[in-house]
Structure 1
Amino acid sequence: MILNHRIARITVGILLLVLAALVLLPGLTGFTSLDGTVNARLAVINAPIDGEIAGPPARIGTPVKGGEPIAAIRNARVSRSVLASLRAEHGTALRRISALERERAALVRLRNQLGERLEVFKSATIASLERELEILRKRVEVAEAQDTVAQVELDRRQQLESRGIFTRKMVEAAQAAGAAAGGEVEINNLTAELLEQRLDAVRQGIFVLGDGQNDVPYSRQRQDEVIVRINDLTTRIAENRTRASQIEVQIGEEDRRVRSLEAATVTSPFDGVVWSRNIVSGSNVVLNNEMMRILDCRDLFVDILVPEVDYDEIYPGRQAEVRLFGRSEVFKGQVQSVKGSSAVVEMDLVAANIPETDERNARIRILLAQTALNVDFGNFCQVGRTAQVRVSKRTVRFSQWVESLWFSLF
């Protein structure tokens, strides 16, 4: 037989050695995983308001751009009672301001009229007092002349008395007449001083009233009351204007709030593709309920499992090669994270299932470099496809393999 020949046996042996080398070489030169899965994160889009979906939302598999509308919500049941109340209160404040301003204007006119009346009366009083003062000054002159005549008559009688012509009684009568004339002069002088004081007071706006003169105190009192009322109205007008301004600000805020609850346009937060949706045109939504999910293709990654004995050889930052089953193209990647077998699996919202294992396998996440996969929205960026990942070893450490074997045996 042909296998009995020495050359044939040698050839078969060489082929077996080559086959064994081919089988062992990938494990010696690197780490290979055949159960990788292309994965990406999902963004959950929740309803911003209560309402009804207006128009057809974006379909599953539709590529969307960042900021592009993907759904519209209309809410016809928004309560406007607070807005209506604020507007009514604002209108009331404005009408109150107008009424108070009209009342203040009328009081200002009344104050001016009272002021004019007071000025007229003041002028008339000054003129009257000046005329009385002139009359008194004339009376003072007359009284002084009469006092002079009385003194002359007294002197004459005293002289005649000394000669025995006039009696003592006639001299005393002349003395009494002189005293009366002097008193009249003094009274007139005092009255003139009093009138001068009143005249000075009136010129300064202070009226020293006599009997029956009640017009000036009434006008002045009435004018003071009007001024107090005007000041009170000015304060109330300022308060109402401040209140109207505050209500106007509240109306603006409430109007913006109502408009935000009446309608809302939901936009995509980034470039991606609609992965799933829970709404259709006309369906009702509730605030913060999930509407749809958007696939984030910006950062694609592959999760793989490798024996935990190689944990120290695979660390973040190491380069990796990824090939999708069914495609010959090789994509570059980089180790993003490494977790032990007992580590809790992260609860990220991802599109594909994370590999599960009951063995002692480390969980490796490979971040793919930016390629055409990141914009392949029509195929959901190839998310969910099985991928083969290889991380090359820098050196083949036989000594480490022998030490591991020795540790296992002994």
Structure 2
Amino acid sequence: AARNGSFLGDSYNDRPSSVQREEEMRQRAGDLEADLARTDTEIAWLANEIKVEEIRFADLSEANITTPVAGRVWEMMTSPGEDVQAGQPLLKVLDCSGAVITANVTESVYNRLQLGDLATFEPNDGGELISGTVVNLTGAAGAPANLAINPDALSKEPYRVTVALRDAAARACTVGRTGRVVFARHETAP
């Protein structure tokens, strides 16, 4: 101890206080360097976590939607940036694979019609005649909720006839065309 410059006695140390302070500062510097290394490691780990979460957020914030039918978007039921839940309706799609026409008719016309009767749609815009077949007679009942345009908005007649179109011209997925439906006359059997 004498060779090293330390003088020891009973319960005291005879080293100069500046040497003691130097050792304290070296120890404190070592502690701070260890804290800095730990903080740098934590920052690197958190930066990686941020990148992972940004990728995860991007994956969860967008989704490709595949419709079971060929068609076009009729109505958007959400807004950009809106949070949506599983099972929530997002949009309405028009099924363009088989077009139908809903005709509002008088009671006397309705009573003459049968499923399978032939009909022709004459567009008011002067387009080609489109032929079809009567597939539904709803009478005074409400129109199906899955039609693009609710027939109630078009006429006050309570009798409705749905005609499935057969021609390729019907596949153009035009909605809201107006015109006249002409039903084929029945021949009465003797």
TM-score (norm 1): 0.29
What is the root-mean-square deviation of aligned Cα atoms in Å?
Answer: 2.9
Offset of residue 268 of structure 1: 2.0
Offset of residue 281 of structure 1: 5.0
Which of these residues, 265, 269, 273, is aligned with residue 72 of structure 2?
273
Higher helix share: 1
CA contact (8 A) 2:130 2:170 kept: no
The corresponding residue for 1:349 is 146
Equivalent residues in 2 for 1:85-124 (5 A)? none
The corresponding residue for 2:45 is none
Which string of whole-angstrom CA distances, capped at 9 and with x for unpartnered residues, describes residues 129-171 of structure 1?
xxxxxxxxxxxxxxxxxxxxxxxxxxxxxxxxxxxxxxxxxxx
| Separation in 2, partners of 1:53, 1:302 | 44
| Separation in 2, partners of 1:337, 1:383 | 19
1:287 maps to 2:92: no
CA separation of 1:53/1:300 partners in 2, compared to 1, >3 Å: closer, same or farther? farther
Offset of residue 272 of structure 1: 0.8
Offset of residue 373 of structure 1: 3.2
CA contact (8 A) 1:53 1:283 kept: no
1:391 maps to 2:183: yes
Q: Secondary structure at the match of 1:309?
A: helix
The corresponding residue for 2:108 is 309
The corresponding residue for 2:168 is 371
Equivalent residues in 2 for 1:120-159 (5 A)? none
Equivalent residues in 2 for 1:10-409 (5 A)? 74=60, 264-279=63-78, 282-341=81-140, 344-355=141-152, 362-374=159-171, 376=172, 381-395=173-187
CA contact (8 A) 1:304 1:355 kept: no
Among the aligned pairs, what percent are the same residue? 25
CA separation of 1:332/1:358 partners in 2, compared to 1, >3 Å: closer, same or farther? closer
CA separation of 1:310/1:281 partners in 2, compared to 1, >3 Å: closer, same or farther? closer
Which string of whole-angstrom CA distances, capped at 9 and with x for unpartnered residues, describes residues 10-33 of structure 1?
xxxxxxxxxxxxxxxxxxxxxxxx
Q: Greater CA radius of gyration, 1 or 2?
A: 1
CA separation of 1:333/1:288 partners in 2, compared to 1, >3 Å: closer, same or farther? same
CA contact (8 A) 2:104 2:151 kept: no
Q: Write the letter of the residue equivalent to 1:74.
A: L
CA contact (8 A) 1:53 1:282 kept: no
* Unpaired stretches in structure 1, ≥5 consecutive residues: 1-51, 55-72, 76-262, 397-410
Question: Which structure would you say has the larger RCO, counting Cα contacts within 8 Å and 6 or more residues apart?
Answer: 1
| Separation in 2, partners of 1:332, 1:358 | 25
Q: Secondary structure at the match of 1:364?
A: strand
